[in-house]
Structure 1
Amino acid sequence: MLILACGNPSRGDDALGPTLIERLSALPDAMPEADQAFDLLTDFQLQIEHALDLQGRELVIFVDAALAGPEPFAFGPVVPEPALSITTHALSPGGLLRVYQEAIGGQAPDCRLLAIRGYDFELGAGLSQGAAANLLAALAFLVDWRGRRA
């Protein structure tokens, strides 16, 4: 299993994904014993090469900051995008699943997106107070959710 977080730690609330991974890894008892194979990975953005990180996984949780949407976060399934359109190096989680299907083939793992609501994405800013509160709620949710699935 894999938690794959994206974001730029130098751009305010865009750091929500990497900060969640950092805090999750600092909690020794955050994940049940059955989750010893739970890998944590961060990057600035999803790229085509991340399709390789999905191979052999049962579950992948993408974590990213959200410019809009519900507060404190949204959590739901990721489905492959119907058509692949690459206009930059960055991909959405659904775009990455499409790449997986086309490049690797076979059944993609169960994928979920944890989109944590952010507010301030200015270069050089730290986490806003609202985003910090949303991060705590998302972290508590993720730990509880995984505990119930174990």
Structure 2
Amino acid sequence: MQPDVVIFAIGNPSRGDDALGPLLMERLRDWLPLQPEGARFELVEDFQLQVEHALDLEGKSLALFIDAGSGTPAPYSFTPVRAAGDFTHTSHALEPATVLHVQGKLQGAAPPPAFVLCVRGEAFELGEPLSLAALEHLEQAWERLQSLCRDACPEAWAYNSGI
């Protein structure tokens, strides 16, 4: 059976607080197999979103993008994201809205409902460890992520995001 939900964790573990997404994904990989039968998850981890990630959305009923952000309200934000943007191919990273837009163009149909869990980071320098603030934000975001995975349906996530 194909997974219902795709979760993307974006970030570079070598760049301080940019490791928040991969760290949450690592926890999720250990935690999900211990949960009762429910939604099926596909987990995708990368340094940045690329056009190819649009293919990971195919056939999914829900998508979550996890990332770190310097301007994010502490400890994290959880918001819906919709397909947007005119796609121009470059070798640079894409925003979640653009990945959704590409998927919609490829499939000729609306992409799945999607959300962003953005965890507040403070320091993103190469070779730096996680900041103390990011460690605190990580714990709070982990609680939210577990809750989202326990009730992985678009209506519940929309309600929890305030829309």
- TM-score normalised according to structure 2 size: 0.84
From 124, 134, 139, the counterpart of 2:142: 139
Please state whether the residue corresponding to 1:123 is helix, strand or coil: coil
Q: Which residue of 1 aligns with 2:94?
A: 91
Q: Which residue of 2 aligns with 1:19?
A: 23
Q: Which residue of 2 aligns with 1:55?
A: 58
Distance 1:32 1:121 in 2: 36
Please state whether the residue corresponding to 1:27 is helix, strand or coil: helix
Distance 1:91 1:113 in 2: 14
From 103, 106, 109, the counterpart of 1:103: 106
Q: Retained in 2: the 8 A contact 1:17–1:63?
A: yes
> Could you list the runs of 5+ residues in structure 1 that have no partner in the other structure?
none
Q: In terms of mean alpha carbon deviation, does 94-103 or 23-32 score higher?
A: 23-32
Distance 2:35 2:48 in 1: 25
Runs of 4+ in 1 over 3 A off after TM superposition: 28-32, 85-88
Q: Does 1:122 align with 2:121?
A: no
**How many Å apart are 1:32 and its aligned residue?**
4.2
Aligned length: 149
1:77–1:65 distance in 2 versus 1, CA, 3 Å = same
Identical counterparts, % of pairs = 44
Q: Retained in 1: the 8 A contact 2:82–2:113?
A: no
Q: Does 1:41 align with 2:40?
A: no
**How many Å apart are 1:147 and its aligned residue?**
2.0
Q: Does 1:8 align with 2:22?
A: no
1:49–1:28 distance in 2 versus 1, CA, 3 Å = closer
Please state whether the residue corresponding to 2:38 is helix, strand or coil: helix
Distance 1:21 1:145 in 2: 13
Counterpart residue identity of residue 68, structure 1: G
Q: Retained in 2: the 8 A contact 1:15–1:127?
A: yes
Distance 1:106 1:115 in 2: 26
Please state whether the residue corresponding to 2:123 is helix, strand or coil: coil
1:105–1:88 distance in 2 versus 1, CA, 3 Å = same
**How many Å apart are 1:104 and its aligned residue?**
2.5
RMSD value, Cα: 1.7
> Could you list the runs of 5+ residues in structure 2 that have no partner in the other structure?
154-163
**How many Å apart are 1:135 and its aligned residue?**
0.9
